[in-house]
Amino acid sequence: MLEPPDLDPQSVLRQFERRASHFEDNDYLLREVETRMLSRLDAVRLAPQCIVDLGCGLGAGVAALQKRYPQAEVTGLDHSPAMLARARERLAPPARGLFAGLLASLGAGSSPRQHFIEADIAAPPLPRDSVDLLWSNLSLHWLARPDEALAALMRIARPGALLMFSVFGVDTLRQLRAPREGKAGTLMGFCDMHDWGDALVNAGFAEPVMDMERIDLSFGRVPDLLRDLHRLGGNALRSRAPGLRGRGFRDALQARLQATQGDGAALSLSFEIVYGHAWVPARKRREDGLSPIEFLPARPRKGKS
């Protein structure tokens, strides 16, 4: 089963609120994973009418999915008001004409087929059986109870809908992890790929497919590495150190990194990217965990009335 991470949800929200103004400067990893996820849709026969991007951030995924499925209504859902404000701004069509200023002041933004909702991924305020494609790019691992979120996603998904997501796997940031880390957590942990697969089945999804790959990022200097890592998310653990880390921590971290790379080699960080997709059965399991059974009358045999 999925181990609930030791995350403080309010700290997660505060961190993404602070990063909203410059998040696009360091979202290259999300955009790369998004491209790889979109390519996986090539093998899927799907014509969704309603798509939800869970943890949409600055809205790049919303735009990409709208381009791929122009007939669909695409909704971006995120818990961060600052991220959603930037998403609406970035996806707004170019202002033209006499009423452009008025429309902007009224908050008119993205395409009529694109919408944004401020909400927790674990409690999406959407109607039951209303979504054809649930999409999440590197966001589900930020949830304190990902198993409960999967159950909530099953509720809003239509029979026959597809869930496609990516998360960080257990080997992410392995170069930064001390062999015996103390109680004050420095790095959040990530769940195993197989645990995600089991959680999908437990939530009622069918035919889960899980796989993973590793993406290595290289940096010239430790300050560059720490800056990008901080902008990708930072530390939202409840057990994190209460104050700022000093020079001794930075020096020890640099020594650990260089020990894994060798003298003169570029500093490298590994990210294990776990991809998963699963289908919603034609007959969904009830929320109490039971599956309905339908009894059909027997067909009359040939030659009998």
Q: What is the DSSP string of 110-136?
A: S-TTEEEEE--TTS----TT-EEEEEE
pLDDT at 91 over 70: yes
Q: Where are the alpha helices (DSSP H) in the chain?
A: 9-19, 28-40, 60-68, 81-91, 100-105, 146-156, 193-202, 222-232, 247-261
Contact 224, 210 (CB under 8 A): no
pLDDT digits (tens, 9 = 90+) for 14-60: 888 988 888 887 789 999 999 999 999 999 999 999 999 999 999 99
pLDDT tens per residue across span 256-282: 666 666 555 677 889 999 999 999 999
Work out the average pLDDT over 8-17: 87
- Please tell me the predicted confidence (pLDDT) of residue 177: 75
Measure the N-to-C terminal CA separation of the chain; round to a whole number of Å: 53
Which is nearest to 133 in space by CA: 165, 167, 166, 161?
A: 161
Phi, psi angles (nearest 5°) of residue 131: -115, 135
**Structure-token match 């700290």, residue found:** 11
Phi, psi of 120 (to 5 degrees): -80, 135
Does 295 or 80 have the greater pLDDT score? Answer: 80
Contact present, 270 and 172 (Cβ < 8 Å): yes
The pLDDT value recorded for residue 186 is 65
Helix or strand holding residue 212 (H, E): strand 206-219
pLDDT tens column, 93-129: 765 555 555 544 444 445 568 999 999 999 999 999 9
Q: Specify the pLDDT at position 22.
A: 83
pLDDT exceeds cutoff 90 at 1: no
Mean pLDDT of 185-197: 85
Contact 139, 110 (CB under 8 A): no
Residue 190 has pLDDT above 70, yes or no: yes
- Reported pTM: 0.82
pLDDT above 70 coverage of the chain, percent: 75
Across residues 61-71, what is the average pLDDT?
Answer: 96
